Structure 1
């Protein structure tokens, strides 16, 4: 059985490929600073997109989107600001998206993209 980290990494790989096929340009993955980590930083036109990826191996603990909390959104907003300050980038807009990856036994992985979650 794959480790939690391996499952998360696999989910982020699937999410990155999916976002690329949707026309987003991946700028960075797994960016870290003192307050946390951004799974994917991307650009869609003039918009900077901060993506949180949640991967689950089934629905026993609910859908991946159910893990979105007010606390997580607050942290992602702070992380977006930290990324912008560290890169001196000034996009016309900043958006926070969530990507859900469901790996159900034997089935094709299901990827869903929630734009503008915050």
Structure 2
């Protein structure tokens, strides 16, 4: 599959994830935020909490599940991009409630698994 079609497919799954999260009560803030540090698929708000969301799709679990595809390196890039986004919005990370979630979409039936607060440090 060429790069353009992969990007279009990724956007379709991100839209599916956003719709799912909206049904759970979250509010969309931004999508596909990019900076030198990385990219954030979705930025949502859950009441007063900013939620940085990584969306992953896997057609087959042959090489692991969609959730397992979010590795430590990806989480570090997501974290750096999120901290940059917060600064850009004039928000101090120390005074802003935020978390990192993963929406994993698996298989042709598009089974959705929502993993909340996946990056806990300290």
Both proteins in one fold, TM over 0.5? yes
Which stretches in structure 2 are left out of the alignment for 5+ residues? none
> What is the CA–CA distance in structure 1 between the aligned matches of 2:63 and 2:49, rounded to whole Å?
33
Give every structure 1 segment of 4 or more consecutive aligned residues whose post-TM-superposition deviation is greater than 3 Å. 89-92
TM-score (norm 2): 0.86
The CA RMSD over aligned residues, in Å, is 1.7
Residue 46 of structure 1 is matched in structure 2 by 48
Structure 1: gaps (5+ residues)? none
Alignment partners' CA distance in 1, 2:100 and 2:80: 11
Q: Is structure 2 residue 96 aligned with structure 1 residue 95? A: no
Q: Distance in 2 between matches of 1:56 and 1:67?
A: 8
Paired residues, number: 115
- Counting helix residues as a fraction of each chain, which structure ranks higher? 2
Residue by residue over 1:67-118, the C-alpha shift from the partner in whole angstroms, topping out at 9 and shown as x without a partner, is 12111111111111100011113564110000001132xxx31111000000
